[in-house]
Amino acid sequence: MNDWNAATTEAPLDTAAYIALEEQYGAHNYHPLDVVLTRGRGVWVWDVDGNKYLDCLSAYSAVNQGHCHPRIIDALVRQAQRLTLTSRAFRNDQLGLFYKEVCELTNSHMVLPMNSGAEAVESVIKAVRKWGYRCKGVPEGRAEIIGFTNNFHGRTITIVGFSTERQYQDGFAPFTPGFRVLPFGDFEALERAVTPETVAILAEPIQGEGGIIIPPAGYFRRVRELCDRERIVLILDEIQTGLGRTGKMLAEEHEGIVADLTLIGKALSGGVYPISAVLSNEEVLGVFQPGDHGSTYGGNPLACAVARTALRVLVEEGMIENSARLGPYFLAGLQSIRSPYIREVRGRGLMIGVELHPEAGGARPFCERLRARGILCKDTHQHIIRIAPPLVITRDDIDWALERIAPVLEGRE
Ligand SMILES: *Cc1c(COP(=O)(O)O)cnc(C)c1O
C-alpha cells in the first residue's frame, strides 16, 4: 500500500478524514457508500485501509474493460506526451482514425464526438429537431420528441425536463418544451401518440437507472417499423447498454434492429477519460453545418487515442463474448438464491438487476452489507440492486461473489 500513497506528497489521511473533507467542501449531490477507494485493477478495487473489493458497478458501466487496463493507460500516457488538445479549429491525427474505427465496429456512417453522455443526448435533440424542419417538413418550432417513463438520459435541464423521476425535476423548473413521455414497452400507446410533428423516439434498449427494465420481446421491432412508416428518427441511448455490457457490441443486436442514431459514452474510454459519441446514418447528422454545434474538448486527440484503444481492447480481448458467456452464469447463480426478500432477478449479459420486495426495507442496506463482505454494488430505484461487474470477470470471481452475495440476500448476514 505504501507504494501507492507515496505517489502523493501529502501524508495519507484515514477513511474518516477523507470523508470529512468531501462532506465539508463538496456539494452534497451524492450519497456514496462510505468506502474511500485509492486503487483499481481489473475487477478489483482497494480502499485506503487496504481492503479489497469486487467492483459490481463498474462506474455505471464505464469501466467495462476493467480498472486501469494496461493497454488503455499506455495509450493515455503516450498520447498525453504527444498532443492533448487542439480544439476543432484545427484537425488532429487521431480524430479521423477514431471515426473510421468506431464506424466500422458499429456499422455507422457518421460520428459526432462529445464528452459526456448528457452532451451526446443534447446533441441528438438538436440534430433531430433540425432534421425535422429541414428534411421532414415539420413547421419550425413544432418538433416533438417522444421519450419513456423511467428513462435516464442525463442531468441537463432539457433532459431532466422529460424525466419521470420526481427528484430529478424538483426545484429545477422551468423546463424545455417539445417532449412527450409514454409508458415504456407499450407499443399501442406509442402508436396512438405519434403525430406528423413527431421527429424522433428516444429510448434505452434496456433501462439501466430505471432498474434494469427489459421491454417485451418484439417491442423494438414494432417501434422500428413505426419509425420507418411515419418517418421518425429512432434514437437508442446505448450509453450504458452499449460496448459489450449486454453480451453484444450494441444491445440493439438483441432486438434485431438498427437505430438511426445511437449514443455511446461511458465505456468508450474504459473509464479513463470522458468521451461520448453520436453514431448516425448520413441523413440526420448531415444537417449540421459548420458553426451549428460544437465542443472545445469534443474529439480531442487524447480522448480519441484512448477510445481507439478502449474499443480495440474490448474486441481483441474477447470481453463481449465473456459478457455473453458469463452473464447467464452469474444470472443463474443469483436466481438460484432462495430468499423471501427477492422479487425477481433479471438481466442480459452482465447487466443484472436483483429486485427486492418492498418489505425487504430497501436495497441500500443490502449494498452496505455486501460492501462489508467485499462486494461493491449500487442500489437503484430503492428496491433494485444492480450487478454489473467489469466484463473481464472470470467464473472463479463469480463463484467468489455468489458465496458472499447468497448469505446477504438470504438475510443470514
Ligand atoms: C450515464 C447515462 C447517461 C448520462 O451520461 P453522463 O456521462 O453521466 O452525462 C445517459 N444515458 C444513459 C442511458 C446513461 O446510463
The per-residue DSSP string of 137-162 comes to -PPTT--EEEEETT----SSHHHHTT
Q: Is 101 exposed, middle or buried (0-12, 13-18, 19+ CB in 10 A)?
A: middle
Q: CA angle, 189 as apex, 185 and 193 as ends, to 5°? A: 125
Atom of ligand 1 nearest to the CA of 207: 13
d(CA 400, CA 333): 11
What confidence score (pLDDT) does residue 135 get? 97
What confidence score (pLDDT) does residue 412 get? 83
Ligand 1 binding site (Cβ under 6 Å of any ligand atom): 60, 116-118, 121, 152-154, 204, 208-209, 237, 239-240, 265-266
3-class secondary-structure state, position 276 = strand
Query: What is the CA(95)–ligand 1 centre distance, in A?
Result: 23
Atom of ligand 1 nearest to the CA of 240: 15
**Is 266 part of the annotated catalytic residue set?**
yes
C-alpha cell at 156: 441537463
What confidence score (pLDDT) does residue 282 get? 81
d(CA 245, CA 347): 10
C-alpha separations of 237 from 201, 234, 311, 338, 408 in Å? 10, 10, 18, 34, 33
Q: Residues 6 or more apart from 147 whose CB is under 8 A from it? A: 153, 162, 179, 180, 181, 182, 201, 202, 203
What confidence score (pLDDT) does residue 3 get? 55
| Residue 147 β-bridge partners | 181
C-alpha separations of 107 from 110, 111, 252, 282, 341 in Å? 10, 11, 12, 12, 43
**Is 98 part of the annotated catalytic residue set?**
no
pLDDT tens, per residue, the chain with 413 residues = 445 555 556 789 999 999 999 999 999 999 999 999 999 999 999 999 999 999 999 999 999 999 999 999 999 999 999 999 999 999 999 999 999 999 999 999 999 999 999 999 999 999 999 999 999 999 999 999 999 999 999 999 999 999 999 999 999 999 999 999 999 999 999 999 999 999 999 999 999 999 999 999 999 999 999 999 999 999 999 999 999 999 999 999 999 999 999 999 999 999 999 999 999 988 899 999 999 999 999 999 999 999 999 999 999 999 999 999 999 999 999 999 999 999 999 999 999 999 999 999 999 999 999 999 999 999 998 999 999 999 999 999 999 999 999 999 998 87
Query: What is the CA(407)–ligand 1 centre distance, in A?
Result: 32
Name the DSSP letter for residue 269: G
Contact 55, 44 (CB under 8 A): yes
**Residue type, position 218, single letter:** G
Q: Grid coordinates 478489483 are at which residue?
A: 44
Ligand 1, atom 11: closest residue by C-alpha? 153
d(CA 203, CA 56): 25
User: pTM of the full predicted structure?
Assistant: 0.97
The domains located in the chain, with CATH, are 14-68+320-409 (3.90.1150.10), 71-316 (3.40.640.10)
**Is 237 part of the annotated catalytic residue set?**
yes
